[in-house]
Amino acid sequence: MTHPGGTSRVHLVELTPAEIPALRVAMGDVQASVAPFDADTARAADLDPAVRSFVANAQVVNDLLTNQATNAADYKALFDQAKAHS
């Protein structure tokens, strides 16, 4: 769907109240793991541990949305839409 002015509409994934706490924790883990990555990039440090931590935590968020959310189909559809536009 396209908004006036040609911008694409972002489709959101709805979560049930019971699904929110686990996702909130996982998102917090992603934020916590990216903070050292940001600091390390400023110092040109070894990024391997920070990158692995971020990717692992991002995968947890993806798993929650892909496999455990009630409306997982809506989340998966976002990737189908991105593929169709590329």
- Span 29-63, pLDDT tens digits: 888 887 777 677 667 666 677 777 888 888 888 88
Buried b (16+ CB within 10 A) or exposed e, 3-39: eeeeeeeeeebebeeebeeebeebeebbeebbeebee
Per-residue pLDDT at 2: 45
Spell out where the chain has E strands: none
Q: pTM of the prediction?
A: 0.55
Judge whether 3 and 9 are in contact, CB under 8 Å: yes
Structural domain count of the chain: 1
Name the percent of the chain lying above pLDDT 70: 72
Residue 8 maps to a domain: no
Model confidence at 1, in pLDDT bands (50, 70, 90)?
very low
In a domain, 51, yes or no: yes
Q: Is residue 44 part of a domain?
A: yes
How far apart CA 84 and CA 79 sit, in angstroms, is: 9
Domain containing 27: what range? 17-85
**Is 71 part of any domain?**
yes
